[in-house]
Amino acid sequence: MKIFLTGATGYIGKRLLIQLLTNGHSVICSVRDAKRFDISLYEKFQNQLTVVEYDFSDEGIFKPIDYDIEVAYYLIHSMSSNADFSKAEKKSARNFSELIGKTNCRQVIYLTGIVNEKDLSKHLQSRKDVEDELKSESYNLTVLRAGIIIGSGSASFEIIRDLVEKLPVMIAPKWLKTLCQPIAIRNVIEFLTGVIGQEYTYNKHYDIAGPDILSYKEMLLVFAEERNLKRTIISVPVLSPKISSYWLYFITSTSYVLAKNLVDSMKINVVAEKNDLAEKLQIKLLSYRESLRLSFDKIEQNDVLSTWYDSFGSYKYSKNVWNFLEVPNKGVFKDRKEKRISNETMTIHKIFGIGGRNGWYHADYLWSIRGLIDKLFGGVGLKRGRKNQNSVSAGDSLDFWRVLYANKEEKRLLLFAEMRLPGEAWLDFRIVDGTLIQEATFRPLGLLGRLYWYAVLPFHGYIFSGMIKKLTDG
């Protein structure tokens, strides 16, 4: 079957794509920038895979796609990337619907949130509005409504993990009493693939959820039990939504925009209406504890396929970051260091393992301070880490950097800064003729950018000299 998949580089999309290809489908992946799509991850499926570029948030005429498409997935959302995300989401859905309506597509599958309460948050109302925009006489719409998704790298899992593992005592807002019905990412993928071509799901919506109905407080405490941690949670009524948003932002790896929208949604009970879809599709629903255990198995095996923070979110270069693949040489400041390598294999391993739990090999406390400063000024900070401790791909987030280029055969790793800066910054590692070249480049923005460079120059000398030494020492 020929399938059109949007959101192919997102948390759900990456996992769904692997399953669709494994099931033998031909998939046309729609991405905003093809440079970000790592085709090497799907090497054995390349004859089943086509990559096309569409930005459904833009105005204009979209180039036609393969008319023989039979099924399409809509996995696009803008909650973390736009202050007026509701308007942006409706525009994207409208453009998608118009494009798909010109093909032979029989079924569109849309993954959204559970919207059973009368009063919805802005985020959940936007998801409902998108559902309405996607309805069409040109194709049949199947809507799957999920609550909190639990899986290694999911936003919900990582936020819960940050809170539980970092805070022995939590002074938390009253929304911790809100009820939700979490679902394992494995079950989500089973539902998404299971409804393909099932005519009884056409033009219907289904709530999909696991068997457990829990409060957020219960979810945190169960997580703590699974990690053998003793945690105390005190709920207070005085934390305003704004304070709650900042609380989530500073403690977890989420952005402030996403934290604000999450807090808004956490006031709403997210409990599924019963249906028999799981029975019809023969899906065994996993409990919350089972979901957590599977997630940690993936983490311990270093086998996390996708993470929610690999998306660009609200970052200001989200649409044109690949324009920075060419590191400039004019109008910039550079810190270039070279050192002969005693063990090339070891050095390459260290370069491609930098960041996250492995740290930056020298003066990690200074990197931590810089990450904290970045958080204080509304940046991403260091909490994103990296999803795999041994390998990185173009498009991956790596602490407060974005991977622009990663090629072990060419012995090069190029990072672009996503921290708050009065300018643009690159960090380039490459091995040439047995020598490691480590080069930090900064293109200042005005006088403030130049003052910033000279202010951090003494720290650079210490940090980067120590880093290259650690990278090359046998």
> For the segment 36-92, what is each residue's pLDDT rounded down to a tens digit?
777 777 888 888 999 888 888 776 656 777 778 999 999 987 654 555 667 888 888
Domains of the chain: 2-309 (3.40.50.720), 330-472 (3.30.530)
pLDDT at 319 over 50: no
Mean pLDDT of 199-211: 96
Q: Taking 50 as the threshold, does the pLDDT of residue 178 lie above it?
A: yes
Query: What's the confidence (pLDDT) of residue 108?
Result: 97
% of the chain surpassing 90 pLDDT: 45
pLDDT confidence band for 258 (50 / 70 / 90): low
Average pLDDT over residues 466-470: 94
Kindly report which listed range (15-19, 159-163, 238-242) carries the lowest average pLDDT score. 238-242
Q: Which residues of 393-428 are buried (b: 16+ CB within 10 A; e: fewer)?
A: bbbbbbbbbbbbbbeeeebbbbbbbbbbbebbbbbb
Please state which of the ranges 75-89, 128-142, 291-305 shows the lowest mean pLDDT: 75-89
pLDDT band at 311 (very low <50, low <70, confident <90, very high): low
- Please tell me which residue, 126 or 291, carries the higher pLDDT value: 291
Strands (E), 123-265: 140-146, 149-150, 169-173, 179-180, 183-184, 204-208, 214-215, 232-236
Name the residue with higher pLDDT: 39 or 308: 39
Beta bridge partners of 279: none
Percent share of the chain, pLDDT over 70: 88
Q: Vertex 157, ends 126 and 351: CA angle to 5°?
A: 110
Q: What is the mean pLDDT of the chain?
A: 85
Question: Are the CB atoms for 302 and 358 separated by under 8 Å?
Answer: no
Least confident of 5-9, 44-48, 349-353, 382-386: 382-386
Does the pLDDT at position 305 exceed 70? no
What is the average per-residue pLDDT within 2-21? 91
pLDDT of residue 182 exceeding 90, the answer is yes
pLDDT, greater one: 445 or 81: 445
DSSP code for 336: E
Residues 438-465: what's their mean pLDDT? 92
Of the ranges 47-56, 196-205, 243-252, which is most confident? 196-205
